[in-house]
Each structure stands twice: as structure tokens, then as C-alpha cells.
Homo-oligomer: A and B are copies of this chain.
Amino acid sequence: MPDAPKISDSEWEVMKALWDHEPMTAVEVLARLPHDQWKQKTVNTFLVRLETKGVITSKRAGRANVYRTFYTEKECRRFEGSQFLSKVFRGQVAPMMLDFIENEELSESDIDMIKKLLDDRGGSNG
């Protein structure tokens, strides 16, 4: 990612819909969002803004624009993740992980999976 643009909270919702089912027209994107929370025109505005920001692209197909993401969800997560980490946890990964372990729901299999990953990264308690 050549310095990723800022994606706002609502824009993220649109992005997630698009990632789930590319490419889509504006109408199709709306259909994949919580129906009572979004108006067509609002979705349209966000799609235009996202394209202006360079996060998605569009191509005319018949009477509708068809949108497609430019960055993968993984790329955007990585970017947002490091922003979040430095803003909220002063860049310290371990304290952050500990907080999430404390506060959020983790199933046994989640825990096992994470431990396995950690083993591959090193440490002596695995």
C-alpha cells in the first residue's frame, strides 16, 4: 500500500460489503448493507468519496457504475491496525494483546490457534 488513505467509520462498512462480493453496483452494495440504516443516495456518496480517495475504482457498465476495491481487506486492516496501536496503546503490542485477552470473548479453539501462532514466532513457554 503506497500510504493508504484514511477510511472513515461509515466508509469501512461500505468497504466490507464490497470486499465480500466484488464487483458491485451501488444498488447491489446497498442490498448488502443493513437495510434500515442506509439510503441509496448515502451509499452512492460514500462510493464516490472512496473512489476519490483512491480506495476503490469504478467502471461504467450499461447505465450503472460497477465498483471494485483497490486495496485488499488485509492491507487496510494492517494500516488501521498500526494506526490504532500507536494511537491507543502507544505502539506497544503486548499490552494491547493482553487487554484484548482480558476484555474480549475467546473460545478455546481461538486460544489454541493463537498459541500455535505464537509458537511459530518464538518464545519458550509453548
Enumerate chain A interface residues (CB-CB to B < 8 A): 9, 12, 16, 74, 76-78, 80-82, 84-85, 87-90, 93-94, 96-108, 110-119, 121-126
Contacts and interface: CB of A to CB of B under 8 A. Distances in A.
Contacts of A107: 94
Nearest to A73: B88
A97 to B, nearest CB: 5
A100 B106 CA distance: 16
Given A93-B105, A108-B122, A108-B123, A77 B88 contact: yes
A115 B113 contact: no
A56 B37 CA distance: 32
A16 B87 CA distance: 9
